[in-house]
Structure 1
Amino acid sequence: MWRQWIPFWHPGLSPQSGDVDLLFAGLLMTSALVLGILFFLLTLFCVRYRAGNLIDREDHIAKSWHWEVGWTTASLACFVGLFVWGASVYFEMYKTPADELVVFVVAKQWMWKTQHPGGQAEINALHVPTNRPVRLVMASQDVIHSFFIPALRLKHDVVPGRYQDIEIEVDRPGTYHLFCAEYCGTDHSGMIGEIVAMDPADFSNWLTRQAPSSSLAGEGGALFRELGCSGCHGPGSKIRAPPLEGLYGRPVPLSDGSTVIADDKYIRDSILLPRSQIVASYEPLMPSFEGKVSEEQLLRLVMYIKSLAGRRS
């Protein structure tokens, strides 16, 4: 309730926004305290040792290590405490709930394109249900962008060549600003959008009204066959390739003796850089699709392979 007494302060709308606000206030107060002490000492020394003041100015050599150790220790303890506080808020914001909704976000000059698992697509907008965690899987088509929602106190860079994850949750229905907080070119200022938070029932109705003829996984399956992937990874193939049924979420042994979990990043890297992580007992025969498929097509292929998780070859 303390935030309502601060002029021009707009409270956040996520479960962690209050913690972020309190941490920000703590950083401001700590910085103001350090600055106040600094200016107090500067003023004190300027007055005490001014040219017209009669004071002993002989060159006395005296050690003051106890003062130095004291203020150094106090400053260290203060800022370590702030670090631990900030780290706890960070881990709370980036935890992975069990009932999360997954939405894909592709950033490109100069727009945000969001894709729901059912195939619903939006430009510079994202509809989400209230009081439910949503995991955004983000990728950039060209340069570095930054996904920034001031009302939720959340900002995350979107880097080309890799997936970024961020958890969001909105407490109340409404429409909130979405910005790109990283300079990304001449029309950077126009790369804006909105987050539309809806009651769960209204969100379900919106998904139904916006539903396309096929889901992302269905479109990914068609693209999988169009690119010829089924010729190696499909049943009855003459080329020995790792099976994809039941792959997602399982550990994959590699030829170098290490093991990796088959998550979104692993699937993406296997499509673009197939020789970077070679599955044990398989030959590195798969060609690279880098430059041949877009980020949006990659998302569809990842969703299709994820849809095979419940199957076993």
Structure 2
Amino acid sequence: MTASLAPWITEASAHAAEIDRLALAFSLLIAALSVPVFLLLVVFAIRYRRGRKVDRRHAPDRNVWLETSWALIPFLLILIFYVWSTSSYIDLYEPPDDALEINLVAKQWMWKVQHPGGQREIDELHVPAGTPVRLNMASQDVIHSLYVPALRLKRDVVPGRYTSLWFTADRPGTYRLTCAEFCGTDHSTMGGRLVVMRPADYARWLAESDLDPSLAEQGAQLFRTLGCSGCHGSGSTVHAPPLDGLYGSPVPLDDGRVITADDRYIRDSILLPQSEIAAGYPRIMPTFRNLLDEEQVMKLVAYIKSLRRQGWKDGP
């Protein structure tokens, strides 16, 4: 099934269907509240037009309950929509713990996708149907914005920081993805395809794709090439923070704050090492800002995250 001809109609996920219901219900509410007003405007304009002999005296009494309900009922209805839309918005920022993590790098003018197993794509994103997918995204140059109309999802991809987007596509098919932020002269050509496959077909696609080492393995090789193990290795004489079990753990800083070692913290520690210094460690970490691109940084982050899993396996 190809649904790129009408992306504003096609629904590729339960979230898209919910957004459409929300938009339709809110439109009906606005129509119900506004149509009587405009109809009465027309009626009054005709009835009380200049030269028409009608009684223009104000009514001697008022219906307080009618006036109160006219203000209170719309307020309560709009409040329901506020709770409904807020719940959907919050859900977009709470991906499931078991979501399939895929890295995506935006650059003029393409989308580069890296799967955990080492599969790579350009301007295409293959995902299994019915499986939560989390995209860890970064920009190599300027602000981009990943937009998938069939999912009713759009997220800015900003240089210098990580952004994420998660979804569960439940309808196999091919859907359009594009950049919704003007990013340069060839912005209009920066598009691609979201390919939602049945789980068995996706597994077959993974097996048949050209396979590079996994992201964690590529990160481990880069870790050694850059000489990082000389300071962070277990046998190092340099006093540097250990990395085993680091990811997801609280990190006390020398300014008294305690933060969680997430993707953002690891990235900044590589590119902006002086911005957040772990308590009890000297300021000797060099910056790799001019040596690594976003793809290489993502590989290092994947490697350090794999040390987290190894730490859990081996215990403290």
Which position in structure 1 is the counterpart of 2:52?
53
1:27 is matched with 26
Q: TM-score, normalised by structure 2?
A: 0.87
Q: What SS does the aligned partner of 2:288 have?
A: coil
Distance 1:62 1:141 in 2: 69
CA distance in 2, matches of 1:260, 1:162: 16
SS of aligned partner of 1:308: helix
Map of 2:209 onto structure 1: 210
Match of 1:4 in 2: none
Corresponding residue number in structure 2 for 1:157: 156
Q: Provide the TM-score with structure 1 as the length reference.
A: 0.88
Q: How does 1:29-108 map to 2 (within 5 A)?
A: 29-55=28-54, 70-108=69-107
Q: Cα gap change, 1:218/1:9 in structure 2, threshold over 3 Å: closer, same or farther?
A: closer
Is 1:14 the equivalent of 2:3?
A: no
1:108 and 1:56 map into 2 onto residues whose CA distance is: 70
C-alpha distance in 1 between matches for 2:289 and 2:90: 33
Q: Aligned runs of 1:107-256 on 2, under 5 Å?
A: 107-256=106-255
State the Cα distance separating 1:44 from its structure 2 match. 3.4
Quote how far apart the aligned CAs of 1:193 are. Answer: 0.5
> Which stretches in structure 2 are left out of the alignment for 5+ residues?
1-5
**Structure 1 range deviating more: 76-85 or 49-58:** 49-58
Q: 1:64 to 1:209 in 2, by over 3 A?
A: same
Amino acid at match of 2:257: S
Amino acid paired to 1:133: P
What letter matches 1:305 in structure 2? I
| Aligned mates of 1:244, 1:140 — CA distance in 2 | 26
Deviation at 1:66, TM superposition (A): 7.4
- 2:107, 2:140 within 8 Å by CA — same for their partners in 1? yes
SS of equivalent residue, structure 1 residue 157: strand
CA contact (8 A) 2:137 2:164 kept: yes
Q: Distance in 1 between matches of 2:186 and 2:201?
A: 34
The percent identity for this pair of structures is 51
Q: What's 2:3 paired with?
A: none
1:76, 1:286 → 2: CA distance?
A: 56
Query: Any unmatched runs of 5+ in structure 1?
Result: 1-6
Distance 2:184 2:16 in 1: 30
Query: After the TM superposition, which residues 271-290 of structure 1 pair with which residues of structure 2 at under 5 Å, given as runs?
Result: 271-290=270-289
| AA partner of residue 15 (structure 2) | Q
Distance apart, 1:11 and its partner CA:
4.3
Q: Is the partner of 2:155 in helix, strand or coil?
A: strand
Please say if residues 118 and 211 of structure 1, whose CA atoms lie closer than 8 Å, have aligned partners that are also in contact: no
Task: Say if 1:162 and 1:41 are closer, same or farther in 2 by CA, change over 3 A.
Answer: farther
Give aligned pairs, total: 307
Cα distance change of structure 1 residues 213 and 12 upon mapping to structure 2, 3 Å threshold: closer
CA contact (8 A) 2:7 2:175 kept: no
Letter in structure 2 aligned against 1:271: I
Paired with 1:25 and 1:184, the residues of 2 have a C-alpha distance of 32
Match of 2:174, SS? strand
Q: What RMSD in Å do the two structures reach over aligned CA positions?
A: 2.7
Superposition deviation, residue 198 in structure 1: 1.5
Displaced runs of 4 or more, over 6 A: 56-68
Contact 1:102 1:134 in 2 (8 A): yes
Partner of 2:264: 265
Q: Deviations over 1:110-156 (max 9, x none)?
A: 11111001121100001111111111111111222221112222222
